Structure 1
Amino acid sequence: MNIIRFILTVALFITTSTVSAQYCSQEGRYSNREFFSSIEIDSLKNRTYGTAVNVLGKSQELFIDFYYPNNTLDTLSKRPFVLLVHGGGFVGGNKESYMTNLCKEFAKRGFVAATITYRLGFDQNILGDHAVAVYRAQQDANAALRYTLENADTLKIDPAWIFMGGSSAGSITALMTAYGSQQEWNQFFPMLAEKLGPLNSSGNNFKQPFSIKAIFNNWGAVSPIVIKPEELIPMISFHGELDKVVSIDVSPYTGFGSRKLHNMLNEQGICNDFTIDPKGGHSIYRDKEGAIFRVGRAACFFKSLFCDTCSNFLSIETVSANCSN
């Protein structure tokens, strides 16, 4: 049995390394520049990835939009995937308002990208009830990833290279999805699993496991109760120094912000890329030019992981990435 397990492990390593090298060798793809034009990007919109009970006690359909290079024009059989989650304080926002543009920018660089609706709302008059909204959001993100992997062959997605990100509440959701386990939730909020169901079986019945390779963090944070130094993964972050909604450092309300996480990653020797806007508040680089800047840096950061050439980066200026060659 040990020999069989060893052989399977080696085979998986060789397969993953081979595909990774293939992505690294694709000149022009996964870079700061567009590889496909806007008219070469296709989409599948409002696909139902799950159904779950919302804050009003009613069943709610959950939708996902996919953006990807035209399958006829794109000759690759598998492509890395990025899931993006919108912000809005867990009470508002929508996938169309902003994440659509980011998805298209990633798709033009060769990725398959998607954004989702997720259940919103909590009772702001009940202390701690925001945890219910975060738990629901993580349930829905998990369901969306399981649905995506169930359809990976059709969408030409490589399950070995899954990235996740978002802005504000969406970034919190991405970080919680990467780090928050059922055991950790049960330790501090044992009533949630009983009230809302488990993290990994809500929304749909798909069983596909997933592993997130890196986080695209835009002015987000994560609860200290779920993050352990030994489980940190690479992250690219953008955050305003003057953010009063989600602290760049540490807050009793939002937890560990981008700079605290940056320092933790450095201490553990985990590759990370961090841009700080010294005069920025909550939500930075939001215009078209800023979005292209962030996606360009994120795409290059992800490509450096394919190529095993990732190096730490920290700046208080908008330094555009350049990895197209």
Structure 2
Amino acid sequence: MKRTLGHTTPIVLTLLAGLAPGAIAQDQPGSAEQVKAAEEILPRVGTNTTPVMPTTPAVSEAIQPGLGEGPDWLKVLNDTLETHVGASTLAEGSFVLARLGDLVEAPTSQLIFVPDHEQREAGEGAVILLPSRALERLQDEWSGQRVLISGEILTYHNRNMLLVSDYRLVRESEPSTPESEVTEPDASQEPTEDPATGIEDDPEVKDLLRELERPDPNDPRQDALSERLEALPRTPDRDTSTATSGPPEGTLLLRRPARMVRNAQGAWSIVFDNDDPASAQADALTVLPCRALMRMEQYAMDQGDAARFLVSGRVYSYRGESFLLPTIAQRLGESDINSIQ
């Protein structure tokens, strides 16, 4: 028995070696035979289905004046004027001095200034006027006439806006008298002397007139007249501007610790830290759009409520609301005081 096994073992091993590749191939996953058998059970799904692309998270973007909800102000301007008017492309800090132009109402009740084409310089174009006392007075006085405007250009997301510093309404000139109707005095005619001129130059007459003009303190009629004048209602000084609850326009703020928050309209506002709630400077100030705001909002969107600044700037007022034009905004490091303390 042992001899037979020893004699047949090489043959069996040879047969097993020849059959092993086929057997192993049948057992390998993903072989052609297994794929064919799987397709008979479950047909392969086609590749004509629409892939589902990954979604990107929503990014918070600051509202740009004139570019928020509704039609774009520049498109409305071109439709109103029935001509193509390009936007201003001046660098921030440029000054517009006594530029003649027209005013057009924007979709958001703002005013757009369109400089006159003949006086327009390189880079000048249509700009939105930023809120200020000067703009408030201009809106109250303007009734469709042309204007001469001076101000400073501010840039926000590649859009120019104008902060008005001075303006003058252009009145229609009165018709001049034709040259044919102008009569020049005849040189042959001698000027006639006014007979009253000589009397008024008399010193005695002048003294008499001064005595007549000087009120008599002993005259009882003077007291009655004064009482009647004081009893008349007095007309208050004309002030078309609306009183603001915040600091008055022109107030300079120097190195004030503050944070940035969104107001009800979605615009960025500055809230100062450690202020007395009863103080006028404790109110939030809406930040005017400018390059400084672009840098501040980027840091605030990255850091959230932890973003703190040392802010310096100038306050402007418009229709009862206060605005801040930041000049310097320095980042502050982390603090152990949170925003609710």
* TM-score, structure 2 as length reference: 0.22
**Is the helix fraction higher in 1 or 2?**
1
Specify the structure having the higher radius of gyration (Cα): 2
- Structure with larger RCO (C-alpha < 8 A, sep 6+): 1
* TM-score, structure 1 as length reference: 0.23
